[in-house]
Amino acid sequence: MRTYTFVLVFVVMVFILNLANYEVDGTQSISKEEDLELDRQLNLLNKPPIKTIHSSWGDIYDCIDFYKQPAFDHPLLINHKVQMKPNSELKGGRDETSIFRTHVEKCPQGTVPIRRTRKEDLIRAKYLALSTEPMSASPHEKFAGILYKNEGETLFGASAKISIWKPTVDLDQYSLAEISLRSGWDSQYNRIHVGWTVNPLLYNNDTAVRNFVYWTSDNGNQTGCFNTLCPGFVQVNPEITPDLPLRITSIYEGIVYELKYHVYLSPSEKKWWFVIEDTTIGYWPTEILPRFGDTGVERIYWGGHSMDNEMGSFPEMGSGHLPDEKFNHAASFSQIQYDNASGNLLDVSDNKLTDIIGCKKIYGMDSYGYLEDQDRRHTIQYGGPGGVC
Ligand SMILES: *[C@@H]1O[C@H](CO)[C@@H](O)[C@H](O)[C@H]1NC(C)=O
Ligand SMILES: *[C@@H]1O[C@H](CO)[C@@H](O)[C@H](O)[C@H]1NC(C)=O
Ligand SMILES: *[C@@H]1O[C@H](CO)[C@@H](O)[C@H](O)[C@H]1NC(C)=O
């Protein structure tokens, strides 16, 4: 019998801080046509704000009329039935304001905050498509986690409590903790990824830990993006956006902080909702993810995911420490669950899981199966110090 270190786990969502450094990156060279195209996209994405909020960490948020937000510029969403909250709110009823102590003000009623997009964001976003093939990943991306395949079951969502850490990441690497859902084939892969990341390439050299979402309907070739860098993700929360920094991260041999991330399909509403703890952030309309369809997704991945730099060196993943059964040493995913067709969250079963460890030299993954502790349930530890594989 394994013994598990008892760790007090506080669920605290405290978004914020970390002053980012904003310099216009003039080093990219793009053609005149590309430049005009970027201006066109920027005009579409940055709508006239009702109000502008300058966050304490440097990002600018524009409060946009809910119905005019960039998501609805997606050509497939012209007749989309808009919705401002899920029909059935999740049970729980935690007071949002006690969980999210954000320094972003609330947007006025009827408007939602959208992080203002700059040209540099779009230039870099183009090269930041996430690949998601843990089984045959590009040599520049490594994974350490578990895969679950449906095999006759309908998977209508995925959830887990993910511990929050701050891995050390160079300006040209990224490190994420993600839940990713996938359906389709090859160039037709539809995907949604959610979780936290340190991704200076995405966030203007900012090495803060931030939440993120990502989607694509063609395996990252042409469609999709992170957060609201392209039309698609519909923001419904007047305060909490998918890209906010997290102020509090876990401490080695100290307190572990965890957040529960959940993505699920509401078939009657035709929306894939994104929820952190009990707070609904927004949704992806099913129109833009045709392969997810009414039959749900085919595969779910829970775990770490990183990209190397030009020297072939990978960043820290998770806490930067290898799994050792101590939850204040290595990073973890607990309560690993999926939604079935009736909307019940079910624990994954061991015999349908595949372990993924992209490079044993620099990362580890240990799947502990179902732990009796109700706070843990199905649990893995993953991550490591990184380096050259
Ligand atoms: C990516 O999209 C372009 C333009 O639609 C297409 O020509 C190309 O074949 C696609 N590549 C892959 C790998 O799907
Ligand atoms: C990020 O840092 C690199 C290296 O210091 C620098 O060349 C680049 O201009 C910076 N980019 C931004 C957006 O600040
Ligand atoms: C979903 O799970 C619940 C609880 O185990 C079960 O009662 C229900 O029948 C399941 N729904 C489907 C469609 O399998």
Burial class (CB in 10 A: 0-12, 13-18, 19+), 24: exposed
Mean pLDDT of 78-101: 59
pLDDT reported for residue 326: 96
Helix (H, G, I), strand (E, B) or coil at 304: strand
pLDDT band at 136 (very low <50, low <70, confident <90, very high): low
Q: Does any domain span residue 312?
A: yes
Q: Does any domain span residue 206?
A: yes
Say how many C-beta atoms besides its own lie within 10 A of residue 386's C-beta: 25
Q: Which of 312, 232, 308, 239 is nearest to 280 (CA)?
A: 239
373 conformational bin, left if phi > 0, alpha if psi -120 to 50, beta if neither: beta
| CA gap 60, 40 in Å, rounded | 20
Nearest ligand 1 atom, CA 222: 2
With 80 as the cut, is the pLDDT of residue 223 above it? yes
Cα–Cα separations (whole angstroms), residue 360 to 133, 300, 353, 386, 388? 17, 22, 19, 10, 11
Pocket of ligand 2 (CB under 6 A): 21, 23, 25, 27, 120, 171, 204-205
Give me ligand 3 centre to Cα 344, in Å.
6
**213: domain range?**
6-388
Mean pLDDT of 54-76: 91
pLDDT band at 89 (very low <50, low <70, confident <90, very high): low
With 50 as the cut, is the pLDDT of residue 118 above it? yes
With 50 as the cut, is the pLDDT of residue 24 above it? no
Give me ligand 3 centre to Cα 147, in Å.
21
Q: Does any domain span residue 127?
A: yes
Mean pLDDT of 348-369: 94
Q: Which residue, judged by its Cα, is nearest atom 10 of ligand 3?
A: 342
What is the number of domains present in the chain? 1
Q: Which residues contact 271 (CB under 8 A, 6 or more apart)?
A: 83, 86, 234, 265, 283, 284, 285, 286
Mean pLDDT of 167-177: 96
The per-residue pLDDT for range 242-259, each reduced to its tens digit, is: 999 988 899 999 999 999
Mean pLDDT of 353-373: 95
With 50 as the cut, is the pLDDT of residue 96 above it? no
Burial class (CB in 10 A: 0-12, 13-18, 19+), 352: middle
Q: Does any domain span residue 1?
A: no
With 70 as the cut, is the pLDDT of residue 21 above it? no
The structure's pTM equals: 0.89
pLDDT reported for residue 132: 67
Extract the tokens encoding 193: 């990824």
The per-residue pLDDT for range 337-347, each reduced to its tens digit, is: 999 999 999 99
Q: Which residues contact 40 (CB under 8 A, 6 or more apart)?
A: none
Query: C-alpha 324: how far from its chain's center?
Result: 25
pLDDT band at 350 (very low <50, low <70, confident <90, very high): confident
**Does the CB atom of residue 221 touch ligand 1 within 6 A?**
yes
Give me ligand 3 centre to Cα 352, in Å.
18
Mean pLDDT of all residues in the chain?
86
- β-partners of residue 145 are 303, 356
Give me ligand 1 centre to Cα 221, in Å.
6
| CA gap 144, 304 in Å, rounded | 5
With 70 as the cut, is the pLDDT of residue 143 above it? yes
Q: Does any domain span residue 238?
A: yes
The answer to whether 191 touches 219, Cβ cutoff 8 Å, is yes
6-10, 17-21, 92-96, 193-197: range with highest mean pLDDT: 193-197
